[in-house]
Structure 1
């Protein structure tokens, strides 16, 4: 079963001050399943609430494709997702522009409605990409792909029913919803969602202060009732690292996991000093789920996202399809194949075909290096983060990671700008307080090869971002292309 067994007692999920045990969650979700069974697809308003979890589980129990809709989506984006997905019903807080019948979701409702487990190849989720190069595309994910990914991650992270997962990530992305909700349900351990991923909330969850008597003593292993497994993105870990008390509260955790962007060395070091833990990192996309991850028992290597998960393969290819050596230096497009990949973009056969090579590998569009032992480092997007300067190929992500190690630099974006002599010169846009451009360039030169150091530093008040928070490098000065 995709979600594991709903039978038995014990805590399932707590979001803020609301909670459900496993029996209550399955019974409330069964009530939703009875109302949506037979629909082509259902759209779920993905706010951080118990109703969202009940709605998603209800759709999956009914075998109906679930379409998570960002809670902060603008009117045009929300309308596009609803129409493009073919969703017939809306689950969650009504939105005027949606134009769909609204299905009530009440976590207190109970039902005995059941349907047979849908086939593994049936669609579980239609998740929309961030739309950085056009309207968001719907990635069709099967139940088999989701189950394969969660099982592979449980193996990599030694994730068991004894773990208490804690996070405060959005419930409409792969990280927060697939890993952070469906993962806990499939493994069989409790989830504590903090609504917002603040340092204080993570610290309280680590110490068991959020349980309010909900988690029985010993739920977290070793007689503890606090969180053991924590998910976050680099921004979350950065804020916690700057709050020594909250960071120290994580000392009793078993594992911290970071994803969605590279983790700066300074953040990992600060967390290790305060809590004894440095997060493991992982890599994935909406279309592939998580394909590469550092294992719980592996040495910590900040900036490296680990090895291909069981059932997955990876390779690097150059601009003309040539093999890139796995020597830790050569940069190429990361291509993957295996059990976790999506079935295609909904209604877009051309885009689906273009995303795959002739020999069956998915083109991630991400630039990476790989070492002989299989460890990967992501250095940016091939389209905007591969800089050709003076005959060298430089990954912007590696330069950004070095710059973020400078104490005055809070945010960094590196681009290649046209240069008559070098072809492209490395230019860094930085956000921070008291930045001395010359000192920052010298700092970077001490950590990078000479050809990788920025030739120019531009201090800005903020970096341009899209609705999903991703930096839009094409809007940076001469970096437009």
Structure 2
């Protein structure tokens, strides 16, 4: 089946893609994408400035029709980042045109579809090569998990240069045949006024919607609210459930693996957890050396390094004009995240091993658990917890908190009353804001820099 199967459906679909800058039927999009494909046919790789709107959707669709890998560049990338991406990928920057052309025959076989650049939190951004087959396998698995069909209307305003907004949010509807309404920005007002059956958001989006009761209640008409790209705080989960009448569906993935774990549309939705592996995906926990932990570690409490295996993994990273295969451990991809897995298979993501697993006084503490406890305090609006080097403890649990007037000592005591005493933050910094990237993830390395 072609990657963008629904575009080749002989039955047209009016309003298949709707954005503030225009509306396209299925056949109109196919024609414009065909025109784009004709312009770039034979190119080794191209790039597009992924501004929200129809031109980006047409450019990416055209590249996939032509079988040409495409690199979406964040529109707010600075000159250094943009130059690095273009130089590293060797891609030619294209200017999307909106002229119809002949539709090429469907691309046969597998091959690279997208090169997505990581956020570069540990160095220069890396180009992750994702294949056509990996995207197809992931979207089909999500369709089964979320009961996602052509009858759905997906609404979101996420950026068009990440897995969440582009692969799931654009290519998903184009493969499965559902309508897409992209709001350009994921604001509570935009979501509230746009009718849909599915809504995608990152935790920052859902936090803002939960703080706007009228907007949240308007989403009660939907059948699925999906949260991803970062852990959803439990208080936000609970408030959304109360206001909309349904708990959000959380899922887990990363650029290199696409989406691998999710709650199910027809099953339980558990706060603080991301669900079960998708069809075709297997997971395991490993120790510091990468060796698998024994079966009794699947108790929901033991923290281990999460490894995944399945058809959605990357082909590799761009390196010196070629693709370097990822460093796998006996076929398993080490995600760099730490997690727990319960006896029933449910996964809880503790966070990044480098920043969210705190080793303090002989204990292993997940930063997210402490953050969730802090967010239960009525004065706290945002919280980020990190480990800071300490001569006695090894690492000291340190919290950065955005809050209404409250004392650091009160917050420390508040956590100590709800979690084990050794999990309390030893230091609390009250700050005006937390540094975040374009997907709403807190940049914890910036909190401790300098």
TM-score (norm 1): 0.88
Partner residue of 1:187?
176
Partner residue of 1:58?
62
Find out whether 1:295 has 2:264 as its counterpart: yes
Find out whether 1:160 has 2:164 as its counterpart: no
Please point out which of 346, 350, 354 is paired with 1:379. 350
Match of 2:386, SS state, is: strand
Whether contact under 8 Å (2:189, 2:215) holds in the other structure is yes
Partner residue of 1:110?
100
Cα displacement (A) at 1:375: 1.0
Whether contact under 8 Å (1:130, 1:468) holds in the other structure is no
CA distance in 1, matches of 2:109, 2:39: 22
Alignment of 1:3-14 (within 5 A): 3-6=4-7, 7-10=10-13, 11-14=15-18
Please point out which of 192, 198, 203 is paired with 1:229. 198
Whether contact under 8 Å (2:237, 2:247) holds in the other structure is yes
Cα displacement (A) at 1:18: 0.9
Partner residue of 1:314?
283
Whether contact under 8 Å (2:229, 2:439) holds in the other structure is no
Please point out which of 423, 436, 444 is paired with 1:473. 444
Find out whether 1:131 has 2:132 as its counterpart: no
Partner residue of 1:23?
27
Match of 1:298, SS state, is: coil
The answer for unaligned runs of 5 or more in structure 2 is none
Please point out which of 390, 396, 401 is paired with 2:361. 390
Match of 2:349, SS state, is: strand
CA distance in 1, matches of 2:323, 2:270: 35
The answer for unaligned runs of 5 or more in structure 1 is 93-104, 206-225
Q: What is the RMSD of the two structures over their aligned residues, measured on CA atoms? A: 1.9
TM-score (norm 2): 0.94
Aligned length: 443
Partner residue of 2:50?
46
CA distance in 2, matches of 1:35, 1:286: 28
Cα displacement (A) at 1:228: 0.4
Identify if the C-alpha distance between structure 1 residues 78 and 350 changes in structure 2 by more than 3 Å, giving closer, same or farther: closer
Partner residue of 1:262?
231
Partner residue of 2:94?
90
Alignment of 1:173-252 (within 5 A): 173-205=162-194, 226-252=195-221
Q: Per-residue CA shift, 1:277-325, capped at 9, x if unaligned?
A: 2211011111110011111112121110111110111111111234331
Cα displacement (A) at 1:453: 1.8
Find out whether 1:150 has 2:119 as its counterpart: no
CA distance in 1, matches of 2:67, 2:322: 27
Alignment of 1:446-457 (within 5 A): 446-457=417-428
Match of 2:328, SS state, is: coil
Cα displacement (A) at 1:137: 0.7
Whether contact under 8 Å (1:262, 1:401) holds in the other structure is no
Whether contact under 8 Å (2:202, 2:440) holds in the other structure is no
Whether contact under 8 Å (1:441, 1:453) holds in the other structure is yes
CA distance in 1, matches of 2:442, 2:232: 16
CA distance in 1, matches of 2:141, 2:387: 37
Q: Per-residue CA shift, 1:73-127, capped at 9, x if unaligned?
A: 11111111112112134134xxxxxxxxxxxx11xx322x233322332111011
Match of 1:171, SS state, is: coil
Whether contact under 8 Å (2:145, 2:263) holds in the other structure is yes
CA distance in 2, matches of 1:475, 1:36: 40
Identify if the C-alpha distance between structure 1 residues 32 and 241 changes in structure 2 by more than 3 Å, giving closer, same or farther: same
Partner residue of 1:95?
none
Q: Per-residue CA shift, 1:8-53, capped at 9, x if unaligned?
A: 2113100114110101000111011111110011111111111111
Identify if the C-alpha distance between structure 1 residues 159 and 349 changes in structure 2 by more than 3 Å, giving closer, same or farther: same
Please point out which of 397, 402, 409 is paired with 1:431. 402
Match of 2:29, SS state, is: helix
Cα displacement (A) at 1:476: 3.1
Q: Point out the more displaced range, 438-447 or 308-317.
A: 438-447
Please point out which of 309, 312, 333 is paired with 1:337. 309
CA distance in 2, matches of 1:119, 1:440: 59
Find out whether 1:368 has 2:358 as its counterpart: no
